[in-house]
Amino acid sequence: MSMPTPMPQPERENYLNKEYGVWSWLLTTDHKRIALLYLLSITFFFFIGGFFALLIRLELLTPAGDLVQADTYNKLFTMHGMVMVFFFLIPSIPAVLGNFLVPMMIGAKDLAFPRVNLLSWYLYIIGGVMMLHCMLTGGVDTGWTFYAPFATNFTNTKIVEAGLAIFVAGFSSILTGLNFVVTIHRMRAPGMTWSRLPLFIWAHYATSIIQLLGTPVIAVTIVLVAAERALHLGIFDPKLGGDPLLFQHLFWFYSHPAVYIMILPAMGVVTEIIACFSRKRIFGYSFVAFSSIAIAVFGFLVWAHHMFVAGMSVYAALVFSLLSYAVAVPSAIKVFNWTATLYKGSIHYDAPMLYAFGFLGLFTIGGLTGLFLAALGIDVHVTDTYFVVAHFHYIMVGGAVMGYLGGMHFWWPKISGRLYPEGWARLAALIVFIGFNLTFFPQFILGYMGMPRRYYDYSHMPEFQVLNVLSTAGATVLGVGYLLPMIYFLWSMRYGKPASDNPWNAAGLEWKTASPPPTFNFDEEPVVTWEAYNYEELDAPHSEEVPVGR
Amino acid sequence: MSEHSKSSPLPTYFAVFFALLVGTALTVYAATLDLGKYNAAVALTIASVKATLVALFFMHVKGASEKLTKLVVIAALFFLLLLLGLTMTDYATRLWS
Ligand code: HEM
Ligand SMILES: [Cu+2]
């Protein structure tokens, strides 16, 4: 489908060409430029985390521990986890797409605290540099979970430095959340009522609440670990009157909700994409909105499902198992409502939608296997096996990263003012989907057969090799799938066709301004008189018709 | 915060600051006494009083007219309660040997 789209004035002033030079970026308070700073930085950390993943998969290609030794292997999976969780996935959608879009979607000029926004990026960078320094000078070997007493009493790797890096980066996350909450409460354009907000905003609102309430707990926990190591306070060490399980309680009180920091924004992205590419209002708008809030609240009630075999009381295990089932309800509400939105929609298979479909399937598999794990009887058998690894990668990579990529494609014309090559993008989406499943599906089977996680050598069980080879092969396919978008996005910045203001004919205020937008987003303050996702209206024959896709 | 948020007169701040110092001294003193199972209770009580003072005066929660501010405070307390309460489902029912 191609239609002559009106070319935007090439010389129009926008946030990209308004000023040039390093300082115009490093001292910017424009949320859109800060979003791009974040985009560059998290992409950098994605490569580092990916590099560790590659080495892990290479080691597991053969049963013997031949590529690296046990110590190195421990450091590899630890640093893979820490980098991917704290320096890529947690900031990914909120700090890049959220930063760029939250003000624009509600019709504001910027976030409520533009300088705090810049500060959050600097904190992230300081944390990131500390983490790099830590990794280059020896690294950490405890796993991203830092369990006591290994982390507090035994390991002599750089726990305190890594902890401080995460502590600092945590504050960047808190500040982003704070900024979003205040912005969403205070800066909505006239007529942009709560019930007219895009569901992307609701998802980010819920995410921000978790960031605000949860992150301080992990910060305090890290301080306690440092204090115990440095001052020998008896907090987690039983010899000194502490309790090692207390660490796990505190750690997971943040880190389970943190998994929702990673997935809720992706849910928001997918909601926008599904509405646009099935040309329908989201089915059950208010249910989808409130399920985000419900996930944020219930997410805080389930943390000890990570501790079923750690020695906590059986009664508590029962309570947390039950509560874990409760949190699946709002997630299921979302999946059902997305499906109902697709029903009788006029569906377009553009690249963002392919990612959204990938998300739907993979998140569902990840979520349902989460329920397996939340059942005490099953968890006892598969805890600490590759089954768990497969479970959370289906959600975090199959869900969150798919959502992130889908969102990057969907909003790329707005961000860069250029169109990406659609054919390549669809191909990349397909490669990502195939590579992902090839990498992680075998891990479900491996875990079910009993392969433990975090082992570098499985020579006593050579029959595990076939599935491990499949998984490593899949990882290389997945790697290609991730490199492609990076290449054609860069290519399109120079050679891509200029994008019109609204290339998808999408609803939402961000599409009512120029691509790329001017520094203060709108030439005049928008006034909202329509409901969210008014696709039926947009597509009605009397309105000017611009087909979706190219 | 802006001008119209209710701040207290300067002497109040000094009084609160002094009370916090007293609290700190009390905590240190209490740590030298062995009160058996009340050790933690006493320390936590002092700490809670101090935290309340900070929130009410230094963080201007006292006199805040905004519903939103109150909501934030209540939410924070609620989540603290969750952390403590649900953790206690473990500690209160664990088989200590
Ligand atoms: C929605 C996004 C979700 C994400 C991102 C996620 C992520 C994770 C992660 C990272 C772990 C491994 C932690 C570790 O041991 O290092 C994990 C384990 C677990 N997940 Fe999920 N999860 C999600 C949803 C769910 C759901 C909906 C449930 C159940 C209702 C669930 C239940 C579990 C359980 C029980 C474990 C512990 C397995 C074990 O170690 O024995 N998860 N999840
Ligand atoms: Cu969890």
Query: What span, in angstroms and rounded, lies between the C-alpha atoms of B32 and B50?
Result: 20
The SS3 assignment for A376 reads helix
Instruction: For residue A304, give the nearest of B68, B75, B90 by CB distance.
Output: B90
Residue in A208, A210, A213, A221 to test binding to B, most B beta-carbons within 10 Å: A213
Concatenate the DSSP letters of all residues of A295-329 into one string: HHHHGGG-GGGG-TTTT--HHHHHHHHHHHHHHHH
Provide the residue ranges of all domains of chain B, joining segments of one domain with +.
8-63, 65-97
Which residue of chain A has the CA closest to B83?
Answer: A253
One-letter amino acid at A65 equals: G
The pLDDT, as a whole number, for residue A550 is 40
Asked if the Cβ–Cβ distance from B89 to A315 is below 8 Å, we say yes
pLDDT band at B71 (very low <50, low <70, confident <90, very high): confident
Q: What is the pLDDT of residue B4?
A: 46
pLDDT for the residue numbered B2 = 44
Stretches where chain A sits below pLDDT 50 are 1-2, 545, 549-550
Per-residue pLDDT, A549: 45
First-residue to last-residue Cα distance in chain B = 53
* Residue of chain B minimizing CA distance to A297: B79
- pLDDT > 90? residue B62: no
**Of residues B17, B26, B63, the one with CA closest to residue B45:** B26
Give the Cα separation of A454 and A461 in Å (integer).
15
Beta carbons of A276 and A535 less than 8 angstroms apart: yes
Residue A352: asked if its preceding bond is cis (omega within 30°), the reply is no
Q: In whole angstroms, what is the distance from residue A336 CA to residue A343 CA?
A: 11
Confidence (pLDDT) at B3? 44
Is the preceding omega at residue A10 within 30 degrees of 0, hence cis? no
pLDDT over threshold 80, residue B97: no
ipTM reported for the complex, 2 dp? 0.82
Q: What is the pLDDT of residue A1?
A: 43
Helices (H), A375-421: 376-382, 386-393, 402-416
The CA-based angle A525-A279-A265, given to 5 degrees, is 65
pLDDT, position A5: 56
Count CB atoms within 10 A of the CB of residue A478: 25
Residue located nearest, by CA, to atom 7 of ligand 1: A392
DSSP secondary structure, A413-424, as one string: HHHHSB---HHH
Cβ atoms of residues A178 and A208 within 8 Å: yes
pLDDT at residue A7, rounded to an integer: 55
DSSP string, A451-500: PBTT-S--TT-GGGHHHHHHHHHHHHHHHHHHHHHHHHHHHHHHHSPBP-
Query: What gap in Å lies between CA A133 and CA A161, rounded to an integer?
Result: 9
Q: What is the pTM of this model?
A: 0.91
Closest approach atom of ligand 1 to CA A309: 41
User: What pLDDT sits at residue A62?
Assistant: 95
Q: Are A496 and A421 in contact (CB under 8 A)?
A: yes
Confidence at residue A156, expressed as pLDDT on a 0 to 100 scale? 84
Question: Which of A308, A337, A309, A331 lies closest to A320 in space, CA to CA?
Answer: A308
Closest C-alpha among A172, A140, A132, A167 to residue A156: A140
CB contact under 8 A, B86 and A301: yes
Q: Which pairs with CB-CB distance under 8 Å and at least 24 residues apart come from A222-225?
A: A222/A146, A222/A163, A222/A164, A222/A166, A222/A167, A223/A167, A224/A250, A225/A146, A225/A148, A225/A151, A225/A152, A225/A159, A225/A160, A225/A163
Residue length of chain A: 550
- Tokens representing A451? 């392969």
**CA distance to partner chain B, nearest, from residue A236 (Å):** 14
Kindly list the protein residues whose Cβ atom lies closer than 6 A to any atom of ligand 1: A 145, 259, 262-263, 305-306, 324, 327-328, 331, 367, 370-371, 373-374, 379, 383, 388, 391-392, 395-396
Class of domain A31-542: mainly alpha
Handedness of CA A208, A211, A214, A220 (dihedral sign): negative
Q: What is the pLDDT of residues A293-328, one digit of tens each?
A: 999 999 999 999 999 999 899 999 999 999 999 989
